[in-house]
Amino acid sequence: MTEPSLHDEGATRYRLLSPFWQAVMAAITAAATLLAINQIFNLGFFLGEVLLDGRYLYLLTGLMLSMVFIAFPAGARAAGDRVPWYDLLVIATIAVIFGYFAWNAERIVLEAWEYIAPPIGIVLSMVVWVIVLEAGRRAGGWPIFVIVAVLSLYPLYSDRMPDVVAGIGMRLPETAIFHVLSEESLFGIPMQAFGLLVFGFLLFGVALRFTGGGPFFINFAFALLGHLRGGPAKVAIFSSGLMGSMSGGPVTNALTTGPLSIPAMRRIGFSREYAAGVEACASTGGVLMPPIMGATAFVMANFLGVSYVTVALAAVIPSLLYFFGLFMQIDAYAARNNLHGLPREELPRLGEVFKAGWYFIFVFVLLIFLLVYMQREATAPFLATGLLLIINQFTSHRLDLAGFKRLVAACGQLMAELAGILAAIGLIVGSLAVTGMAGTLANDLVYIAGENVVILLIMGAVTSFVLGIGMTVTAAYIFLAIVLAPALVNAGLDPLASHMFIMYWGMLSFITPPVALAAFAAASVAEVSAMRAGLQAMRLGTIIYFIPFFFVFNPALLMQGGAGEILTVLATAMVGVALVSGALQGWLLGFGDLGKGVAGVAVRVAIFIAGLLLAAPGGGMLGVPHWLLLAVGLVLVGGAMLAATGVRRMQQNASGERAG
């Protein structure tokens, strides 16, 4: 087996590192990992020397920022295999400044440097501010840089803004030391979540990739589903959902599983745009699927002050409904177009696949056990990773020294990318906190909506979607968690549902034109128009546009409530999603073709509306009982199917007369 490259396909913004610099990345990553293990497991370096959290974050952030300037060039012209002198100068500066801060961590806390720092603290904070902005640009792109730069400077001009967005004004030195030396900005919730929770899960995801987890899950999906009608498309759903635990992003998902699933879909008759749309939707949903949902879920847990397991459990039903909707649409499309699966003799045998990679499933089960039953959120991924690497060394996929170095260097690249973005986004958190603008905006949004929760939700959905276009999901979520989520909570909505709502709508930009990045990535693999792939992905992912509204209306869909209520909304939602999927594709399971022409469209519209009524949870904010939604939905479905039966008979009679 060939180990994955340090550079994913299409990742041209990464510097193509020479073996020497890969070794440097590996060494820094190893140091950061040992530092994190020491802090999270409270080992005290085996000497009883416990680090202050502040000192730990100074050291960890310094290491991460150094790797940003190794892995990411300043621009396309600097993308060689050497690190230029100016980046070496920045790395040396980071080492000196963060080393100084770590050495003086106790003084910084005891003497309250975040408010009154000595001159050297002010100067160094300004330098760090600039470095973090540049790290954010390299790791996240120009949109991150522009947004963070404007908002991190907000305290300097907030008192001169209109009353709606006005805040407490500050001078440049005060702003700089608050950003860098307080626990609410650079070292606020984003970096705290990274250092104490996200770090281990990133390590686990990369270890899965380099030990053969990707090929195993793809082969496992082909063995299970490849022979079914539309099999390769169903494989894409399954494999991309599992790959979401490893890649951490919709685009990387699409570029990893797409080269295998898209040609297989094309082979049995799926169009290029449909195959690309399926892969884009599956890859996007993979990041929303527990047990590992990406950095956003960990940051959300910190914002809400709940365990990560609470967030992961809440995401189970929404992600299940999303993937079920995709599965049913693919099945309907395949049935309507008579698309068969792949021949069994060409597919891997399930027993052989399981025998070769049983330990991947075992490690996943162990991780879930440690998370849910043992409640060891911070330490669970490290333990699972350690066990995975040990077992792997007794298999045919065992890593040699060179492979292990590539694994560690790949961890470093992924960690540096995320840390660079989170560090920059932390400056936004600090600006909104210190100026008091977050609370003002929340109250203003409620006022503008006229205390109408539905209007407020629509405003929130549009805002989340727009920010999701220009920023990463985590960055968009953090901004909205500060500005929008309090408005939703103040309007009486469940806090967890409010935060999940903005995260889901931030994700939707990956499958919605004009900037559907996951669809565009899949389109490049399928060699089809990016816009056509985006429109197809939008159609296939239709149900996800409604799911966030559903779980806000009734948090039982987030497993908030009694078992009876949860089972009721889940059962009706599954039936509703199946109806919506059938209506979108014109073919209903158990009935068949819904007809063509005006009559067929009318039937499909009626079934679509019935599906939404059944999927929408009764009770909760809607105030409509379950039985009423169920009754109206069933009446609509029954009427539509009677009409479809009549249309079918008329068409059969007409064709019979023509044949006679």
Q: DSSP string covering 207-253, please?
A: HHHHTTHHHHHHHHHHHHHTTSTTHHHHHHHHHHHHHHHHH-SHHHH
Is 250:322 a contact under the CB 8 Å cutoff?
A: no
Crossing angle of helices 53-71/19-40, nearest 10°? 160
- Strand residues in 241-377 grouped as ranges (E): none
Q: What residues form DSSP beta bridges with 592?
A: 588
212: left (phi over 0), alpha (psi -120 to 50) or beta: left
Q: What is the DSSP letter of 345?
A: G
Q: What is the pLDDT of residue 111?
A: 92
CA-CA distance, 134 to 87, in Å (whole number)?
A: 11
The two structure tokens encoding residue 155: 């305290």
Is 385:366 a contact under the CB 8 Å cutoff?
A: no
pTM above threshold 0.95: no
How buried is 495 (Cβ within 10 angstroms: 0-12 exposed, 13-18 middle, 19+ buried)? middle
Handedness of CA 628, 631, 635, 636 (dihedral sign): positive
Crossing angle of helices 295-304/473-483, nearest 10°? 20
Crossing angle of helices 401-435/437-448, nearest 10°? 70
pLDDT tens across 310-326, in order?
A: 998 999 999 999 999 99
Q: Which of 245, 261, 386 is nearest to 319 (CA)?
A: 245
Q: What residues form DSSP beta bridges with 588?
A: 592
Q: What is the pLDDT of residue 509?
A: 81
Q: Which of 499, 481, 498, 544 is nearest to 518 (CA)?
A: 544
Q: Which of 131, 144, 137 is nearest to 476 (CA)?
A: 144
Q: What is the pLDDT of residue 478?
A: 85
CA-CA distance, 618 to 550, in Å (whole number)?
A: 9
Amino acid identity, residue 305?
A: G
Q: Which of 224, 386, 374 is nearest to 308 (CA)?
A: 374
Contact residues for 127 (Cβ-Cβ < 8 A; gap 6+): 93, 97
| H or E, element range at 593 | strand 592-593
The two structure tokens encoding residue 90: 């920045």
Amino acid identity, residue 244?
A: G
CA-CA distance, 84 to 94, in Å (whole number)?
A: 16
- How many percent of the chain have pLDDT more than 90? 35
Q: Strand, helix or coil at 379?
A: coil
Q: What is the pLDDT of residue 113?
A: 93
CB atoms within 10 A of CB 660: 5
Length of the chain (residues) = 660
Q: What ranges in 104-141 are assigned the alpha helix state H?
A: 105-110, 119-140
Backbone dihedral angles phi then psi of residue 313, each to the nearest 5 degrees: -65, -35
Amino acid identity, residue 217?
A: F
CA-CA distance, 628 to 625, in Å (whole number)?
A: 6
CA-CA distance, 241 to 200, in Å (whole number)?
A: 20
| 143-146 contacts, C-beta under 8 A, 24 or more apart | 143/470, 143/471, 144/421, 144/424, 144/425, 144/471, 144/472, 144/475, 145/424
Q: What is the pLDDT of residue 97?
A: 97
Q: What is the pLDDT of residue 12?
A: 52
Q: Strand, helix or coil at 643?
A: helix
Q: Strand, helix or coil at 5?
A: coil
CA-CA distance, 550 to 558, in Å (whole number)?
A: 10
Q: What is the pLDDT of residue 11?
A: 45
CA-CA distance, 195 to 53, in Å (whole number)?
A: 9
The two structure tokens encoding residue 161: 């803004």
592: left (phi over 0), alpha (psi -120 to 50) or beta: left
Q: How far is CA 48 from CA 30, 32, 35, 43, 320, in A?
A: 21, 19, 14, 7, 46
CA-CA distance, 419 to 136, in Å (whole number)?
A: 9
Is 424:140 a contact under the CB 8 Å cutoff?
A: yes
CA-CA distance, 521 to 535, in Å (whole number)?
A: 14
Residues of the chain where predicted confidence (pLDDT) is lower than 70: 1-12, 78-79, 243-248, 438-442, 446, 451, 469-471, 620, 654-660
Q: What residues form DSSP beta bridges with 593?
A: 587
Question: 587-588 and 592-593: which strand pairing?
Answer: antiparallel
